[in-house]
Structure 1
Amino acid sequence: MKKAFCVLPSFQNTSPRLRLVCRCQRWYSDDSKKDDTGASRDAARAQMDEAKRLAKESSKQKAPKFDDFGPIYRPTYVPDDPLTADPTKRAIKVLKHQGWELWDAIRGRSPGPGWREARIFPQFCDTLIIGGGIMGSVVAYYLKEKIPEALNIVVVEKDPTYQHAASTNSMGTIRVQFSQPENVKAALYGAEFLRTMKEKLNVYADEPDDVKFNPQGFLFLGTEADVPQMKINHEMQIECGAKVALMTPGRLAARYPWMNLEDIALASYGLEQEGWYDTWKLLYALKKKNLSMGIHYVDGEVIGFENDNQWGDFPEHYISGAGGQKFQRMVRAKVKTHNHGEQRIQFSQAVIAAGHEAAQICELLGIGKPQPGIRVIQCPIEKRKRYIYMFHCPEGPRLSFPILVDPNGLYVRREGINGMYMCSYTPRSNQQEPDPDDPNSGEEFFNNVLWPKLVYRAPVFSKLKLRGSWHTFYDYNYFDQTGIVGPHPYYFNISFACGFSGYGIQHAPAVGHALGELLYEMKYVDIDMTKFEFERFLQYDVVKEVVIV
């Protein structure tokens, strides 16, 4: 008589591993037991042993820890529901691991510096991004979005606390008023990214923190000499989809009676998609999203590159006059981690998003050194210091105060509605540039340079009180003050996303989207950034913003 195999009612709701074990644990008839060879029974036992072995191996897989910024390495295995992990067991495991490390250190058996990085440092990647601020993180996000399962991305960040990063120390403004149509379209794309970031950057239905976007239009003031160009800019901005209005001195006087308009002939005011927001919360949301997608963040500094020891012929059609030259392809980067361990990582593509340190990365690649060929052209990026001041003026204008941009390079915005303001300054000449190596807070610079300009434009600011100041460093492009996007003409597999001279944060979503198209579709689709590529320096093609700070 055959014994029936009983299936529990909840069998279909069990895990696949349990169903596999149950299928192998079958009851066989008495006839099968009388089989002299015992082949059926042996086969069933073999299947059952194999199923148990697979179940045991599957149970050893551990879910990654989804904390805020987490460790520098993330496994590619992502569980269906990471919140089901037992926190008690996780805590016991961590304490046990740290206990063994302490015991080894007491007994003098510590593996030494660099052992942790050697164990978890990713040795290979498809795309290496140098710089993990907002620009680098957005680029990583869009690249990973193109091929979410197959693409392996590593981001190397020198300052994991972002204490000195321009991403977290800037005024956090966004505007659509530019003189280049590509910049207008990029700013519009960035504004749309901020509007939809809760859908884009949610992690397992957990929405990111609100970046507290404050809508407020930019008011660009222009002198009589600026009027023709401001009208040209206005027509172009309208064609690109921006909502901008021109204002005469009469309208300005009626709307802003506190403003001195003696030298002002025209103004341009942004009606939509301009304002400011919390850049730190945006960076926080980006990094958390990237970690959940399997992007690896490495705390370290790139100190060198290695080529593949193979020489190739430079294609004649790629750039005029370059035919017949030889080139090598960089395939590995040397990274110095924070505990002085040096590691190497092999890559297929690399993106330089290192801000003002991009020129140093180019020097490691041999770009800008005296040599024959196109590599002699330098990367025109240098570190420029910008002070940001917070001051209080109880009698100053409140909600009606725009983000004011003065023709002399001063720009100021309110901070809340209690009489607090933030201001900064973009010098019009190199003689007024702050010394980047000066450790002072910049109070003397404020008193001698900024305060007189503030009082001239708004006399009510003569009674202000300075509350604090800090500084940041911009990746200033001294060639034309416009960003560098796209591949290098010599190193085909190395691209740029830097040199925006102060407005890179608001362009970061558009740059990430464009690089994702270029690197993995081999062309620009939505936003054509060919004009911003490195090749313009070889041809001395200046792409400069006019009547725009």
Structure 2
Amino acid sequence: MSRLLSKRWFIHACISHCNPPACGISTSCSLSKKVDRSPPAPSADQIEEEEWRRRRRYVPPDPVLDEGSWKRASTVMRWDMANMYDLLRGKAPYGHDARVEGQIFPQFCDICVIGGGIMGSLIAYFIKQRCVGEKNLRVVVVEKDPSYAQSASTNSFGAVRVQFSQEHNIKAALYGAEFLRRMKEHLAVFEKEPGDLQFQPQGYLFLGSEADVAQLKINHETQIKCGAKVALLLPHQLAERYPWLNLDGIALASYGLEHEGWLDTWKYLYALKEKNMSMGVHYVDGEVVEFRRDDFAGSQVATMGGVPFEKWKWVRVRTKEHGDQHIQFCFVVNAAGADSGTVAKLADVGQKRGTRIIPLPVEKRKRYMYAFHCPEGPKLSMPMLVDPNGLNIRRDGIKGMYICGWTPKTNEEEPDPNDLTVKNEFFYDVLWPKLSFRIPVFSKLELRGGWYVHYDYNYFDQSGILGPHVYHGNMLFACGFSGYGMAVAPGYAKTIMDYIYEAQYEEQDVTPYEFERLLHFEPQKEIVLV
């Protein structure tokens, strides 16, 4: 009888022949009538569900694994043998194969990274690289948008630079440039090199008015001190080098001589994910909707001044195919980009009294990006141009295509981040006059399209927030980079790995960038924003 009850068609058949009483309480099936016992035809949803079951997916019941230790162990061993067979054939055990969909849902892990963009994937990469011989260490990356259609990692300029005002950012950017230079060595999967990122080496050209001269010189001294190669150019040097540039109002410019340019961010992210999955990193397509802690005193790991510190232990992830699932972890890293502030609120950051009353000062902001065509525009001599009025432009190829955006100077000029539309009139009314003024030949351009991108803006000091929370010791942050995360991601991802393993920073001490600076009101303001 138990076998019959397990059949979905039999359950539907019983329910369809039951006569519920008027009170609404279900009773046993009425057998006095002669009824048709044949099972009903399966619906489209039932057919789809049965097809889903045929894919050998295995998701244990949540929140506990109560199906029996023998069955659970046999399932794990079956998949381990399948992955071993792949290794013997020279394939990645978690490569692009049907078996990816059949992995066990990771209800337990050592490190859970929230956010599967460039930053989150790099954190997972460095953690797994550090523990190459430790096969039992599990890293899970949770990403709510697996298509990355709204991700800043794939919709931004894709540019890297070393021109910053903060020493930590410059050093992290230099490390990131070296990482990209050796990317084929770092991201090779079983001697298979990653695809060409189509890196375009071209320096940033920051134009400055008379009011910007002093700050440009200070930035230049800091950059040279950290090992960056940057040159200051006077107006007559600019006129000789860029004859197509209108220099009205320009008193000085800063140009990056190396370690700057742009790349194909899609291929970069794809290579990272492929490498991570080959090392056993599990990517979960879902959205974190809740944090949970243990309801016993053991979750309070330390005290200071009589106030207990608590650690989180679970996250509830809402998935499209598996419903709500729980993932238990030792450490959790908030690298959710524009959604970092929302994720922090779920973890009671900024929601309660004491040290938790300070919110994560990261909010979602929106930028318009436009692509236009101008056959008469500058070609290979076109740098990544940043104008004092907030305009930024770069070429896209060598056939007269360009991409431009704009960084507002005041909060009143910021577009509504909840407006999910692209306004072409913004280009014609605001950007085109600025473009044609600085580069007169752009008065003949033709708009080809536009899109928008959301990014994580730190409204406290425009610098990234790194390291642990002051109250939840096993929660770390890697967010709030205000639009330049692509350049510093490898360097700061490695510092997160160092802290998780050593409880301290090895190569670069980013203590001034920790969450604790918010309590003491010690801003580390980054001035060079694009």
Give the TM-score category using the shorter length: 0.7 to 0.9
Code of the aligned partner of 1:341: G
Code of the aligned partner of 2:370: Y
**1:177 aligned residue:** 163
**1:337 aligned residue:** 319
- Deviation by residue 1:449-488 (Cα, 9 ceiling, x = unmatched): 1111111211111111101111110111111111111111
Are the counterparts in 2 of residues 125 and 347 from structure 1 also a CA contact under 8 Å? yes
Are the counterparts in 2 of residues 393 and 464 from structure 1 also a CA contact under 8 Å? yes
**1:138 aligned residue:** 122
* Aligned-partner Cα distance in 2 for 1:273–1:462: 32
* Aligned-partner Cα distance in 2 for 1:84–1:301: 27
For residue 548 of structure 1, report the CA deviation from its aligned partner.
4.2
1:138-157 mapped onto 2 (5 Å cutoff): 138-148=122-132, 149=134, 150-157=136-143
- 2:489 counterpart SS class: helix
1:104-123 mapped onto 2 (5 Å cutoff): 120-123=104-107
* Aligned-partner Cα distance in 1 for 2:292–2:384: 47
Code of the aligned partner of 1:63: A
**1:526 aligned residue:** 507
1:371-520 mapped onto 2 (5 Å cutoff): 371-520=352-501
For residue 60 of structure 1, report the CA deviation from its aligned partner.
8.9
Are the counterparts in 1 of residues 301 and 310 from structure 2 also a CA contact under 8 Å? no
> Which residue of the other structure, out of 185, 188, 194, is the alignment partner of 1:208?
194
For residue 547 of structure 1, report the CA deviation from its aligned partner.
4.7
Are the counterparts in 2 of residues 132 and 156 from structure 1 also a CA contact under 8 Å? yes
* Aligned-partner Cα distance in 2 for 1:315–1:398: 61
* Aligned-partner Cα distance in 2 for 1:368–1:353: 17
* Aligned-partner Cα distance in 2 for 1:58–1:138: 29
**2:69 aligned residue:** none
1:223-238 mapped onto 2 (5 Å cutoff): 223-238=209-224
> Which residue of the other structure, out of 352, 373, 384, is the alignment partner of 2:334?
352
For residue 58 of structure 1, report the CA deviation from its aligned partner.
9.4
* Aligned-partner Cα distance in 1 for 2:77–2:430: 67
* Aligned-partner Cα distance in 1 for 2:86–2:169: 38
* Aligned-partner Cα distance in 1 for 2:369–2:278: 34
- 1:220 counterpart SS class: strand
* Aligned-partner Cα distance in 1 for 2:137–2:432: 51
* Aligned-partner Cα distance in 1 for 2:92–2:195: 23
**2:207 aligned residue:** 221
- 1:62 counterpart SS class: helix
Code of the aligned partner of 1:381: V
* Aligned-partner Cα distance in 2 for 1:253–1:511: 38
* Aligned-partner Cα distance in 1 for 2:528–2:449: 30
For residue 156 of structure 1, report the CA deviation from its aligned partner.
0.8
Are the counterparts in 2 of residues 309 and 328 from structure 1 also a CA contact under 8 Å? no
1:205–1:304: structure 2 CA closer, same or farther, 3 Å change rule? same
**2:55 aligned residue:** none
1:82 matched to 2:90? The reply is yes
**2:309 aligned residue:** 327
1:373–1:60: structure 2 CA closer, same or farther, 3 Å change rule? closer
* Aligned-partner Cα distance in 2 for 1:156–1:124: 13
Are the counterparts in 1 of residues 301 and 311 from structure 2 also a CA contact under 8 Å? no
Are the counterparts in 1 of residues 92 and 190 from structure 2 also a CA contact under 8 Å? no
1:58–1:165: structure 2 CA closer, same or farther, 3 Å change rule? closer
* Aligned-partner Cα distance in 2 for 1:295–1:182: 29
Are the counterparts in 1 of residues 310 and 473 from structure 2 also a CA contact under 8 Å? no
For residue 325 of structure 1, report the CA deviation from its aligned partner.
1.2
For residue 422 of structure 1, report the CA deviation from its aligned partner.
0.6
For residue 120 of structure 1, report the CA deviation from its aligned partner.
2.0
* Aligned-partner Cα distance in 1 for 2:420–2:276: 35
- 2:518 counterpart SS class: helix
Code of the aligned partner of 2:192: D
**2:20 aligned residue:** none
For residue 78 of structure 1, report the CA deviation from its aligned partner.
6.7
Name structure 1 gaps, 5 residues minimum.
1-56, 65-75, 95-115, 317-322
| Aligned residue pairs, count | 447
- 2:81 counterpart SS class: coil
Are the counterparts in 2 of residues 314 and 324 from structure 1 also a CA contact under 8 Å? no
- 2:376 counterpart SS class: coil
1:263 matched to 2:249? The reply is yes
Are the counterparts in 2 of residues 179 and 548 from structure 1 also a CA contact under 8 Å? no
**2:259 aligned residue:** 273
- 1:207 counterpart SS class: coil
Are the counterparts in 2 of residues 313 and 325 from structure 1 also a CA contact under 8 Å? no
**1:124 aligned residue:** 108
- Which is worse superposed, 276-285 or 304-313? 304-313
- 2:283 counterpart SS class: strand
Are the counterparts in 2 of residues 308 and 328 from structure 1 also a CA contact under 8 Å? no
* Aligned-partner Cα distance in 1 for 2:107–2:92: 31
* Aligned-partner Cα distance in 2 for 1:406–1:310: 57
For residue 228 of structure 1, report the CA deviation from its aligned partner.
1.4
For residue 63 of structure 1, report the CA deviation from its aligned partner.
3.1
Code of the aligned partner of 1:361: V
* Aligned-partner Cα distance in 2 for 1:515–1:59: 34
For residue 367 of structure 1, report the CA deviation from its aligned partner.
1.0
* Aligned-partner Cα distance in 2 for 1:130–1:273: 29
1:512–1:59: structure 2 CA closer, same or farther, 3 Å change rule? closer
Code of the aligned partner of 2:151: A
- 2:224 counterpart SS class: helix
**2:65 aligned residue:** none
- Deviation by residue 1:389-440 (Cα, 9 ceiling, x = unmatched): 1111122111111110011111101111111111111100112111222233
For residue 313 of structure 1, report the CA deviation from its aligned partner.
7.1
